[in-house]
């Protein structure tokens, strides 16, 4: 089995608190930072074991991860064997479909961010006071400087667990073999697909031994234009005799995501939402896009779910044939993001225009960024010919360097109707790639 006391808590199960503070820093003195890491940070880092046991959970959970330039600042020179990580996200911006870095948060432009502290708790006050306690102790070493911070918060009331467009999130993450018992329909992956150096990590042989049980964290600040998204749905309802205009707009939104706002998959409930289905973890992920008993989905049938739908592009299930654990190349990530920014105001809703930034603090863990986050974004979401010819962009996250995006298959009543989306509803504000080391690595390589 996995050594869960060695794996940082956020990686496999997520810190799952209502608030999360991302604190991005630069290291100004590597040697001093290493000794502070040992005395101040390491004792506070939350493990997977701690998160699994309510009686061991801290008030505020803490994780830490480092960028490539952060490793360098600490004089850690081993090659981790991940070229995306080595280059940093700034060098990858164009590959990811971003229209350059004009929309990027300025601190993400370049490679000056050395690391990130992730603090999670019930309130932001608790995150802040834990951060202040850490910063006060670090002040003595004069070895780190704050570069940027982002405050994440679950949405209020009945929207809790839903992202800003209104859809229930966090339903489908892969189960790690030998650690989690899969729910029906959940992907099962070998530990090495998420954790470096574990079985199933295809680059295992080329990794330094201390990297074992660490994981790469792809962080993205993804701004969501919610009133603009809602306006698009209002203007583009799917019209069938059975549905009201509002229901037609809801259907368009659900077909873009592949799930209804409740979480119910459109493949299982194609025309109207089914909140009981959405809320039932034994049913809400139990589908493959193929007919029962078949291995392959029907390449001509999008009536129950568009090929371009966000969850279908990012996990094609039976569109690739074969059960997922028998596919030669698997592309799974563990998602652990949280919304940021305020609710849509009445003024914004009325004007159909975003005035205050909100979105998703996107967090994805994997043992290989090229096979994980980057692959999903570049070769699936942004590829109009995936999962087969001419299906178009993922209408949610697909990016075309800021140009309009063609999406086919959204209208179940008219298979040949093509929709052109003029504006991006998700705007990348950039991010960075990090490595989240094991507790052992933190104690031996990163601390002195």
Catalytic positions, written as ranges: 169
Contacts of 98 (CB under 8 A, 6+ apart): 104, 399, 401, 428, 430
Determine the Cα–Cα distance for residues 85 and 70; give it in Å rounded to an integer: 11
Considering only 51-59, 111-119, 354-362, 412-420, which stretch makes contact with ligand N7H by CB under 6 A? 354-362
Q: How far is the CB of 397 from ligand N7H (least distance, A)?
A: 5
If the CB atoms of residues 142 and 160 are measured against ligand N7H, the closer one turns out to be: 160
Nearest Cα neighbor of 314 from 266, 367, 261, 383 is 383
Q: How far is the CB of 242 from ligand N7H (least distance, A)?
A: 25
Among 26, 248, 341, 359, binds ligand N7H (CB under 6 A): 359
If the CB atoms of residues 41 and 360 are measured against ligand N7H, the closer one turns out to be: 360
Per the CB < 8 A criterion, the answer to whether 420 and 408 are in contact is: no
If the CB atoms of residues 117 and 376 are measured against ligand N7H, the closer one turns out to be: 376
Q: Which of residues 402-431 bind ligand N7H (CB under 6 A)?
A: 426
Buried b (16+ CB within 10 A) or exposed e, 356-386: eebbbbbbbbbbbbbbbbbbbbbebbbbbeb
Determine the Cα–Cα distance for residues 131 and 169; give it in Å rounded to an integer: 27
Residue 175: its H or E element: strand 175-176
Among 24, 85, 340, 362, binds ligand N7H (CB under 6 A): 362
Binding string, residues 309-328; x marks residues near ligand N7H by CB under 6 A? -xx--xx-------------
Nearest Cα neighbor of 435 from 110, 216, 265 is 216
Q: How far is the CB of 129 from ligand N7H (least distance, A)?
A: 29
Peptide bond just before 387 cis, omega within 30 deg = yes
Q: Which of residues 367-406 bind ligand N7H (CB under 6 A)?
A: 373, 376-377, 396-397
If the CB atoms of residues 77 and 326 are measured against ligand N7H, the closer one turns out to be: 326
Nearest Cα neighbor of 264 from 284, 237, 242 is 284
Q: Please state whether beta strands 61-66 and 115-121 pair in parallel, antiparallel, or not at all (unpaired).
A: antiparallel
Among 12, 134, 334, 360, binds ligand N7H (CB under 6 A): 360
Q: Which residue is nearest to ligand N7H (CB)?
A: 172
Alpha helix locations (H) across 280-404?
A: 310-314, 346-351, 373-375
If the CB atoms of residues 93 and 171 are measured against ligand N7H, the closer one turns out to be: 171
Q: How far is the CB of 209 from ligand N7H (least distance, A)?
A: 30
Q: Which of residues 236-265 bind ligand N7H (CB under 6 A)?
A: 257, 259
Determine the Cα–Cα distance for residues 221 and 429; give it in Å rounded to an integer: 5
Residue 241 CB: number of other CB atoms within 10 A?
A: 5
19 binds ligand N7H (CB under 6 A): no
Among 58, 170, 182, 321, binds ligand N7H (CB under 6 A): 170
Q: How far is the CB of 80 from ligand N7H (least distance, A)?
A: 21
If the CB atoms of residues 114 and 429 are measured against ligand N7H, the closer one turns out to be: 429
For ligand N7H, the binding residues (CB under 6 A) are: 163, 165, 167, 169-172, 222, 224, 257, 259, 310-311, 314-315, 333, 335, 359-360, 362, 373, 376-377, 396-397, 426
């Amino acid at each position: 089995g996995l050594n869960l006391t060695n794996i940082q808590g956020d990686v496999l199960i997520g810190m799952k608190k209502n608030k999360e503070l991302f604190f991005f820093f630069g290291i100004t003195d590597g040697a001093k930072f290493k000794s502070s890491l040992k005395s101040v940070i390491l004792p506070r880092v939350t493990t997977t074991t701690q998160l699994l046991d309510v009686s061991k959970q801290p008030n505020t959970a803490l994780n830490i991860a480092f960028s490539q330039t952060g490793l360098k600042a600490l004089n850690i020179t081993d090659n981790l064997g991940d070229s995306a990580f080595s280059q940093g996200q700034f060098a990858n911006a164009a590959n990811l479909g971003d229209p350059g870095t004009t929309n990027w948060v300025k601190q993400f432009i370049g490679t000056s961010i050395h690391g990130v502290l992730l603090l999670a708790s019930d309130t932001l006050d608790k995150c802040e006071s834990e951060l202040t306690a850490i910063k006060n102790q670090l002040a003595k070493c004069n070895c780190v400087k704050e570069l940027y911070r982002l405050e994440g918060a679950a949405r209020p009331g009945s929207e809790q667990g839903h992202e800003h467009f209104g859809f229930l999130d966090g339903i489908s993450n892969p189960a790690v073999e030998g650690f989690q018992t899969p729910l029906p329909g959940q992907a099962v992956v070998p530990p090495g697909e998420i954790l470096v150096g574990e079985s199933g990590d295809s680059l295992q042989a080329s990794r330094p031994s201390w990297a074992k049980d660490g994981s790469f964290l792809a962080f993205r600040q993804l701004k969501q234009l919610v009133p603009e998204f809602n306006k698009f749905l209002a203007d583009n309802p799917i019209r069938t005799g059975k549905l009201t205009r509002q229901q037609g707009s809801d259907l368009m939104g659900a077909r873009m995501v592949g799930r209804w706002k409740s979480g119910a998959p459109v493949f299982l409930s194609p025309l109207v939402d089914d909140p009981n289905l959405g809320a039932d973890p034994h049913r809400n992920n139990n589908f493959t896009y193929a007919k029962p008993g078949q291995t392959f989905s029907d390449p001509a049938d999008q009536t129950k779910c568009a090929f371009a739908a966000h969850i279908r592009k990012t996990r094609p299930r039976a569109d690739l044939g074969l059960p997922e654990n028998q596919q030669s190349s698997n592309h799974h990530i563990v998602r652990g993001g949280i919304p940021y920014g305020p609710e849509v105001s009445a003024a914004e809703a009325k004007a159909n225009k975003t005035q205050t930034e909100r979105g998703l603090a996107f967090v994805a863990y994997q043992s290989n960024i090229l096979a994980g986050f980057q692959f999903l974004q570049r070769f699936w979401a942004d590829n109009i010919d995936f999962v087969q010819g001419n299906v178009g962009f993922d209408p949610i996250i697909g990016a075309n360097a800021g140009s309009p995006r063609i999406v086919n298959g959204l209208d179940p009543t008219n298979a040949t109707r093509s929709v052109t989306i003029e504006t991006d509803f998700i705007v990348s504000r950039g991010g960075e790639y990090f490595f989240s080391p094991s507790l052992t690595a933190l104690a031996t390589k990163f601390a002195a």
